[in-house]
Amino acid sequence: DAGAGVGAGAGVDVAGVRERGAPLIEVSHVSKSFGDHQVIRDVSATFCAGEVAVIVGASGSGKSTFLRMLNRLERHDAGRILIDGIEVSDERQKLDALRQEVGMVFQQFNLFSHLSVLDNLTLAPRRIRGLSRQEANERAMALLTRVGLEAHAHKFPHALSGGQQQRVAIARALAMQPRVMLFDEPTSALDPEMVKEVLDVMRQLADSGMTMLVVTHEMGFAREVADRVMFFDEGRIAFEASPEEFFACRHDNARVKAFLSRVM
Ligand code: ADP
Ligand code: MG
């Protein structure tokens, strides 16, 4: 299929409601400081295969640090993180395995500017997964078709709009066939008219069963796509709920209410 094996998650049932699979990410009692500043405070959370969690919270509350610890872009000081049974640590073998399981998409796209779109997608699969050029090209073209950019395969990133670049970044991450996708404010750097095309790709990915953790200020996306909304406050998961409950404001968490009144 054109998905090239992407979406190795829990699948979608006939009613279009995502099923939840087995625990895939287990975070237990994790803390992290930068110098004297503790930015993650004893966080525990479990994410299941096929789950879409949206993470919200004020700037500086630790959302990016939390995501970055999951693929070892930041080290945790205490606690334990397991992804698909792999302990997140500095051990080279585990780190290589982890980086193949976890794809990440950043606010600033971070494409390789000196490589064509196609080569952006084929570099890691060839070097790390050992795919032949032909296999990597086929997988890349299938993914570019999926994100609506097959006609742009031979362009360089600077020739594309921000929305197109971010869709390439998503396709590039998917080319490694990760089991988990992390998104850190993927639409925050985009002009408003380009936000939808990126959210649409993310929504399709969620429907395909991908396990996703998404930091975003797009409350419409959270409401429609998330299975769970988590509110970070000063390095803690201060509140989490289904989108219905989170946005209904029937709960009495004053900080969530204050947050919602700012972003809605
Ligand atoms: P968010 O993504 O919710 O805005 P971050 O995880 O980026 O929050 O940051 C949490 C806190 O950690 C902030 O106070 C930030 O200044 C600090 N911080 C983040 N990265 C670093 C770093 N590399 N060195 C020092 N402080 C950092
Ligand atoms: Mg951030």
* Residue of the CA atom closest to atom 20 of ligand 1: 65
Nearest-atom number in ligand 1 for the CA of 74 is 23
**What's the 39 CA to ligand 1 centre distance in angstroms?**
7
pLDDT, tens digit, for every residue of 135-174?
A: 999 999 999 999 999 999 999 999 999 999 999 999 999 9
Q: Which bound ligand lies closest to the C-alpha atom of 65?
A: 1
| CA–centroid distance, residue 87 to ligand 2 (Å) | 24
Model confidence, pTM = 0.92
**Cα(107) to centroid(ligand 2), Å:** 9
Query: Can you give the pLDDT at residue 21?
Result: 83
Q: Name the residue with the closest Cα to ligand 1, atom 24.
A: 34
What ipTM was predicted for this assembly?
Answer: 0.98
In this prediction, the residues of the chain whose per-residue pLDDT falls under 70 are: 1-19, 250
Tell me, in angstroms, the distance from the centre of ligand 1 to residue 41's CA.
13
Q: pLDDT digits over 65-85, tens only?
A: 999 999 999 999 999 999 999
Residues with CB under 6 A from ligand 1: 34, 39, 57, 59-65
User: What is the 3-class SS of the chain, one letter each residue?
Assistant: CCCCCCCCCCCECCCCCECCCCEEEEEEEEEEEECCEEEEEEEEEEEECCCEEEEEECCCCCHHHHHHHHCCCCCCCEEEEEECCEECCCCHHHHHHHHHHEEEECCCCCCCCCCCHHHHHHHHHHHCCCCCHHHHHHHHHHHHHHCCCHHHCCCCHHHCCHHHHHHHHHHHHHCCCCCEEEEECCCCCCCHHHHHHHHHHHHHHHHCCCEEEEECCCHHHHHHHCCEEEEEECCEEEEEECHHHHHHCCCCCHHHHHHHHHHC
pLDDT at res. 8: 41
